[in-house]
Structure 1
Amino acid sequence: MGDLEIRPVVTDDVSAVVAMLADDPLGARRESPDDLTPYLNALERVNGDPNQHLMVAVRDGRIVGTLQLSIIPGLSRRGATRSIVEAVRIHADERGSGLGTQLLQWAIDESRRQDCQLVQLTSDVSRTDAHRFYERLGFEASHMGFKLAL
């Protein structure tokens, strides 16, 4: 295995990132890799917000993982800043290699660097393998999540 680089997503990465987002039963229903326009527009919005960190993991020049880290200042918990990890995906060829741990450790370290007191994430109830993975990293299933499609 070559060296791993974790860096921000750039325009040329979008196709590979969207392919990873679409490469599972849930993502296949939600993503549209044939039309990158909405993803490129979203990348522009993300890059314009200093509290958003859309990252890729690159090994030997190939994108092998991605996640988004959002930094959210707030009043609750005595004015705590928290981070939210979203859209964690590891390329199918890299699953089980330890890459997910490295990518999440980057997010945890960056959260500490940004003075966050809490790192949180959500995971679809059907992703039981992911739940075990997050628990191995020390995350606790402490809340029930709700979503409202608009």
Structure 2
Amino acid sequence: MGDLEIRAAVADDVPAIVGMLADDPLGAQRESPDDLAPYLTALERLSADSNQHLVVAVRVGRVVGTLQLTIVPGLSRRGATRSIIEAVRIHADERGSGLGAQLIQWAIDESRRQGCRLVQLTSDATRIDAHRFYERLGFTASHVGFKLPL
């Protein structure tokens, strides 16, 4: 990975993470970069849960990417543990650099290390470029997802 470090996110990373989460039309509608309190509270919850891995990619001291990996023990598939990749974001000036593929590969490798037999993710139906990206990495669009806001 050369000059790239992938590590657990810390509180000082939250402004950069939230900035990346908000840096697209969907994120701009649901994120609040001006109020970091709920994100810092969420980071505390995530950090306390050994099945949650919020990571950042850092290049030359600057946060340039992030994702969350969740390990989910299960009963189905003969008791298989699976992982879920969420909130993959790459800083605008790093898009197209291969960083996204490196972050996803980190998540796949960590999933294997944790004994997962399946890696899954969802992507908003409008993110056509992201769908092509995940397919290039070997993921298949195998399910239809549903959400219910609470």
With the length of structure 1 as denominator, give the TM-score of the two structures.
Answer: 0.99
**TM-score normalised over the length of structure 2:** 0.99
1:2 deviation in Å?
Answer: 6.3
Q: Could you tell me how far 1:5 is from its partner in structure 2? A: 0.1
Distance 2:101 2:43 in 1: 25
Q: Which moved more, 1:79-88 or 1:1-10?
A: 1-10
Q: Helix, strand or coil: the match of 1:117?
A: strand
1:19 partnered with 2:19: yes
Structure 2 counterpart of 1:29: 29
Query: After TM superposition, where is structure 1 displaced by more than 4 Å over at least 4 residues in a row?
Result: none
Q: Is the 8 A contact 1:85 1:119 kept in 2?
A: yes
Q: Contact 1:2 / 1:59 at 8 angstroms: preserved in 2? A: no
Q: Relative to 1, partners in 2 of residues 1:75 and 1:2: Cα closer, same or farther, differing over 3 Å?
A: closer
Deviation of residue 73 (structure 1)? 0.2
Q: What is the DSSP-based 3-state SS (H/G/I as helix, E as strand, rest coil) of the residue aligned with 2:116?
A: coil
Uncovered stretches (5+) of structure 2, i.e. residues with no partner? none
Partner of 2:116: 116
Cross-structure match for 2:94: 94
Identity %: 81
Offset, 1:49: 0.1
The total of aligned residue pairs comes to: 150
2:54 equivalent in structure 1? 54
Aligned to 2:76: 76
